[in-house]
Structure 1
Amino acid sequence: MTNQPRLRLESGTEAAWMLSGPSADKYPLVNEYLAYLTDRNYSPRTVRAYGYDLLAFCRWLETHSSGIDSVTTGTVLDFMRHCREASIAGRPANVLSMTGKRLDHYSATTINHRLAALTGLFTFRALREPELRNPIPSGREARRVSAEERNGLLGHLVRPKRRSALRLREPRRLPRPLDRRETADLLASLRTWRDRSIAGLMLLSGLRSGEILTLDVTDIDIGARWIRVFGKGAKERRVPLDVEVAGLIQTYLLTERPESTSTRLFLVAKGPHRGQPLTPAGLRTIFRYHRLKSGVLAGHPHALRHTFGTAMAEAGVDLAVMQALLGHAHVDTTARYIHLTPTHVKAEFDAARTRLHTRT
């Protein structure tokens, strides 16, 4: 294991993920591809995820004494079969999910993500060296959309999606919001103005964790109550700022934010890194502590964003407005929240039932 490549963050950077280790020099294409993703403004989390997917592939090649240049379609198929059949170390093999699936195997989402990483890697190589054959099989692609997509409210805007035959069917999971009690308990455990401001921006403005951490002081207009947010792919949008959250941020800036040369809004409050920008690991530590303290085990940062999206859907906010607020690139992603409106669904059901009884 010591001779296998590893993934590390290059010192002095925030997003330069690269392979390292004794055998990493056999895979320069992977590091060039990760650098390419960074240059294309992919988020550090996305580059890291692609890096670990490609690391798994490189380690599998090591066990088969093979290299990137010798990868064929058969090699890719063998790797995908390995991903479907491999067991995850440390997970019990005799435990099944409610659907009967073994929990010691990789999920369909993980396997599909590895396929996407390989597809991107060899597509990148084809751009640089067109004479080399792309080993990723194209498979049978869907030529038309499903009936549900074609007949939906925005069916006239849907384009056929190109799907690889290697992709596994993924279970459709809807975002899980926090209920009122969970939200109240989690917020009650927060003690600093910084942490309350962060939670408020997620819960009442729908910001992502990465967007929170990249906010500058100048991005907050407390007087006009607007936030300038740079989302995925460096896409800029303006989001309204709740009046209570504006008060929390103003108090944080006046009484709690350390003096620093950094322009970031949220900084480390104490310790040897005081005054430095808050990191993703630091944010995870904050929420992990308050999840345990409050007993709200579902209180992850993204759960607050899901709670915001659900509240907007239940309030009947227009789908296009929700898409603009949440910063989704595709309206299909926003549409998931429409299914999370049990209050609205029950009200419509009761109204229809009343009309039927009235007619009879």
Structure 2
Amino acid sequence: MELFFKYLQYEKRFSPHTITSYQTDLQQFKEYLQEVYDLEDIQAADHAIIRSWVVTLVQKELDSRTIHRKVASLRSFFRFLVQRGVLEVNPTVRIKAPKLAKKLPAFIPEDAFTQLLDHSEFSTDFKGQREKLILELLYGTGMRLAELTNLKLEDINLSSSTLKVLGKGNKERILPLNPSLVQALTVYLQERKATFPKNNSPFLFVTDKEAPLYPKYVYRVVKKYMSSVSTAIKNSPHVLRHSFATHLLNRGADLGAIKDLLGHASLAATQVYTHNSIEKLKAVFEKAHPKA
């Protein structure tokens, strides 16, 4: 298993978050083998055993997406064993996970984020400017949480109003910065330098103890401010990414351009946002068309 995780890290270049998910899934399957079948070796699992595990997950009423991810983790591991010659047959080939329920990406209304920034009281000190910049960057660029926390000072180019992001698979992309973001970045960098004049951290965001910012802090900031304008949806950093894409599409942005801004590998991943746009078009049609 350790060799598999190194393969994911160095050859597949998966993110630390993704590798942690794989580790959790495989460890849970290993514990299931020990408790139910008294098996110590995960390689001894056959199709029937793996299928019984999936049934157990369904009976526990886990979310279908979670089950799909766990099955995918197992498939990848056994595929790895076959590739390395450890096994001759992959026992997960005919394993089927439950059907996924189609969920549209959650997003906040266009005026809600503006209201959030205009009516929220951000303190003028380093902490307040850090919180404001986190919100502005997530919504203003559509970047992922991991991309935000991994931003380096050298990635920011205020003169050209752009920043460089290292996305999934170590793929770099350049994102444009709107004037509001340039201003927020300028103020934050001034406060950062004044608060920590001797700090040599390469990271854009640092904690009060001058350490790199961690994901849970970002979650707390987003929840703290978004709960004041939206209680109907899960307040997470990814909702701001969904809102970024949905609002661009609603205002006529090209789907291919949105794909590049989000760092999606294929257009299929971006097309999910067209469903939200279609719902808006239907509402306009029903309200305005004489035959609606």
TM-score of Structure 1 vs Structure 2, range by shorter chain: 0.7 to 0.9
| Identity %, equivalent residues | 25
Match of 2:91 in 1: 135
Unaligned runs of 5+ in 2: none
Kept in 1: contact 2:134–2:218 (CA 8 A): no
Q: How does 1:61-140 map to 2 (within 5 A)?
A: 61-63=33-35, 64-66=37-39, 67-85=41-59, 87=60, 105-129=61-85, 132-136=88-92, 138-139=93-94
Kept in 2: contact 1:328–1:334 (CA 8 A): yes
1:326-349 deviation digits (Å, cap 9, x = unpaired): 111121121111111244343355
Is 2:7 the partner of 1:36? Answer: yes
Match of 1:22 in 2: none
Match of 1:20 in 2: none
1:58-82 deviation digits (Å, cap 9, x = unpaired): 1101102112131112221121122
- 1:36 aligned counterpart, secondary structure: helix
Residue 203 of structure 1 is aligned with which of 130, 139, 144? 139
Rounded to whole Å, the distance in 1 between the matches of 2:116 and 2:32 is 42
Deviation at 1:206, TM superposition (A): 0.9
Deviation at 1:216, TM superposition (A): 0.8
Q: How does 1:240-319 map to 2 (within 5 A)?
A: 240-257=176-193, 258=196, 259-268=198-207, 270=208, 274-291=209-226, 294=228, 296-297=230-231, 298-319=234-255
Unaligned runs of 5+ in 1: 1-28, 88-104, 140-164
User: Would you say how many aligned residue pairs link Structure 1 and Structure 2?
Assistant: 277
Rounded to whole Å, the distance in 2 between the matches of 1:53 and 1:221 is 40
Query: Larger C-alpha radius of gyration, 1 or 2?
Result: 1
User: Which gives a bigger RCO, structure 1 or 2 (Cα 8 Å, sep 6+)?
Assistant: 2
Deviation at 1:184, TM superposition (A): 4.3
Matched letter for residue 283 of structure 1 = V
1:24-60 deviation digits (Å, cap 9, x = unpaired): xxxxx2x222222121221111111111111210110
Match of 1:336 in 2: 272
Q: TM-score, normalised by structure 2?
A: 0.87
Matched letter for residue 199 of structure 1 = L
Q: How does 1:107-186 map to 2 (within 5 A)?
A: 107-129=63-85, 132-136=88-92, 138-139=93-94, 166-180=96-110, 182-184=112-114, 186=116
CA RMSD, 1 decimal: 2.2
Q: TM-score, normalised by structure 1?
A: 0.71
Matched letter for residue 347 of structure 1 = V
Is 2:154 the partner of 1:238? Answer: no
Rounded to whole Å, the distance in 1 between the matches of 2:100 and 2:129 is 40
- 2:174 aligned counterpart, secondary structure: strand
Deviation at 1:176, TM superposition (A): 1.1
Rounded to whole Å, the distance in 1 between the matches of 2:220 and 2:246 is 26
Kept in 2: contact 1:211–1:231 (CA 8 A): yes
**Structure 1 or 2: more helix by fraction:** 2
